[in-house]
Amino acid sequence: MAYNRVTPEIAAQLAAIAPGRVKTGEEISPDYCRDEMPIYGTGLPELSIDVLSTEEVSAVMRICHQNNIPVTTRGAGTGLVGGCVPIQGGIVLCTARMDKIISFDEEQFGVVTQPGVLLETLKAEALKRGLMYPPDPGQKLATIGGNVSTNAGGMRAIKYGTTKDYVRGMTVVLADGEVLRLGANVAKTSMGYNLTQLLTGSEGTLGIITELVLKLIKAPKLEISLMAAFADLETALQAVPKVFMSSFRPTALEFFERDILILSEEYVGKVVWPREVDGQPVQAYLLMIFDGDDLDEIDPILEKMTEFMLEAGAMDVFIADTATKINDIWTARSAFLDCIMDSYKLYDENDVVVPINRISEFVSFFTTEAGQYDFEVRYLGHAGDGNLHIFGVSNEMDEETFKEQIHHWMTSMYCMALQMGGELTGEHGIGHGKIPYFAEYVGEGVMQIHKAIKLAFDPKLILNPGKVC
């Protein structure tokens, strides 16, 4: 696809739409050329524009459509698959400054918000009203628009689902500048194709989200974390499916290995997790959250869960039921990604999903596979939904060799995940980093439909070109 360059005339037209918010050349922030996974490369836009309203986005798109100029939309740029990297140049359109929460509907448990609101802000504002926005990706400084565009998941998915379960409606600007309003703040809809859900997770390739109607729920009053320590990872992972076979409903169920935890705690600078039980080293942990409205409701569950974990071979089970303790233990979990980025020059990751009863098998597969390569492996995961975060990291290798070895390793993992009945990515999306694997994973038929949908929305292929399909 041949695109046009941004001429000075076009730049002037765009500058008139967003005075003072259009940048070209060296003025463009280097942040607009990348996301948080630099291994997939950067892209240099010809122009960047910070938009403030649906009208501005619509006006920008009319010009770009007319002139055949690619547009890559971005929020906070915290993605991990190169989704917001302008690999075809053109313009970067940033919605981060559309950061107002427009209104809360406390009776219908909804919120209308602009896309640039940060996830942490949305969560905090909801909580002030006794409400909760449940999706809980680790990166709280992402924008809500970015979360919807990638259908972000997070730790609470096993009880509360992912972003898609909370998107009720949206305002979307199409490639030619037309403005669509999809969905409504109601609980049900059965009107034709569900375009709201189609746009969710479309990574800026079908339209530009400029307003969102999101569902909220009543916030639970209490949250308690249980931490089960195990002498080996396999025993820990074998306990996971049994949790679900019983009637417990944890809000989150995560697993870690000893090495990862130590790395994270050293990075955070605070050691809180028990590393030994009765003098024996802990090799793996399961971390669970239970929530509810009062202790009388949660206590019996905690009691049964504790017995259950001990029977499943836990060395001991610890509890965090005060804000300080809960914060302490989750800090290490949240710091993991930052810690990797800070500790290694080269890193790549995937977020494969496998059936929860096969996590252990999958872990031993990819760690064994990695044995033939020069990079190191770091991983942890949402044990409760089978979504893993698997990193290959290195400080010594040269980039080319690293990329090549990683590619082989990733391919082997995706093949195995496919065989096991899993998914290529649970919450990060395809972007352009996963494109080499996507078509093969889903097959020709699915790709054809993807391409047809793309063309229906964006016949000139100017929206985030080179991503998803």
Burial of 277 (0-12, 13-18, 19+ CB in 10 A): middle
**Given the complex with other proteins, which of 189 and 343 has the nearer CB atom?**
343
Q: What distance in Å separates the CA atoms of residue 275 and residue 283, rounded to the nearest whole number?
A: 8
Binding pattern for the stretch 286-325 against other proteins, x by CB under 8 A and - elsewhere: ---------x---x--xx-xx---------xxxxxxxxxx
Q: Count of residues binding other proteins (CB under 8 A)?
A: 31
Task: Give the SS3 label for residue 357.
Answer: helix
| Residues whose CB is less than 8 angstroms from the CB of residue 5 and which lie 6 or more positions away in sequence, other chains included | 46, 69
Is 328 an interacting residue with respect to other proteins (CB under 8 A)? yes
3-state secondary structure of 276: strand
Contact 291, 222 (CB under 8 A): yes
The nearer residue to other proteins, 267 or 365, going by C-beta atoms, is 267
Residue 22 corresponds to which tokens in the numbers above?
């259009």
Q: Which stretch binds other proteins (CB under 8 A): 57-65, 232-240, 269-277, 460-468?
A: 269-277
d(CA 184, CA 167): 9
Applying CB under 8 A, the span of 195-203, 215-223, 335-343, 445-453 interacting with other proteins comes to: 335-343
Among 9, 26, 107, 342, interactor with other proteins by CB under 8 A: 342
| Shortest distance, position 322 Cβ to other proteins, whole Å | 6
Q: Does the protein bind other proteins through residue 274 (CB under 8 A)? A: yes
Task: Confirm if 384 and 340 have CB atoms less than 8 A apart.
Answer: no
User: Shortest approach of other proteins to residue 373 CB, angstroms?
Assistant: 28
Do the beta carbons of residue 46 and residue 91 sit within 8 Å? yes
Least distance from other proteins to the Cβ atom of residue 388, Å = 24
> Which one, 161 or 292, has the nearer CB to other proteins?
292
Q: Give the whole-angstrom CA distance, residue 11 versus residue 17.
A: 10
Task: Select 160 or 336, whichever has its Cβ closest to other proteins.
Answer: 336
Q: At what angle do helices 8-17 and 54-67 cross, to 10 degrees?
A: 170
Interface characters, 224-263, with other proteins (x: CB under 8 A): --xx------------------------------------
In angstroms, give the least distance from the CB of 269 to other proteins.
3
Whose Cβ is closer to other proteins: residue 55's or residue 338's? 338
Cα dist from 205 to 92, 107, 313, 454, 466, whole Å: 13, 34, 48, 7, 9
Q: Tell me whether residue 48 or residue 88 sits nearer to other proteins (CB atom).
A: 48
CA angle in degrees (0–180, nearest 5) for 462-464-467: 120
Residue 141 or 452 having the CB closest to other proteins = 141
Among 52, 272, 442, 447, binds other proteins (CB under 8 A): 272
Q: How far is the CB of 308 from other proteins (least distance, A)?
A: 11
Q: Is 334 exposed, middle or buried (0-12, 13-18, 19+ CB in 10 A)?
A: middle
Contact call for residues 469 and 202 (beta carbons, < 8 A): no
Handedness of CA 35, 207, 12, 4 (dihedral sign): positive
- Give the residue with the Cβ less far from other proteins, 117 or 302: 302
Q: Considering the rule CB under 8 A, would residue 124 count as an interface residue with other proteins?
A: no
**In the range 198-227, which residues lie near other proteins by CB under 8 A?**
226-227
Contact set with other proteins (CB under 8 A) = 226-227, 267-272, 274, 295, 299, 302-303, 305-306, 316-325, 328-329, 331, 335, 338, 342
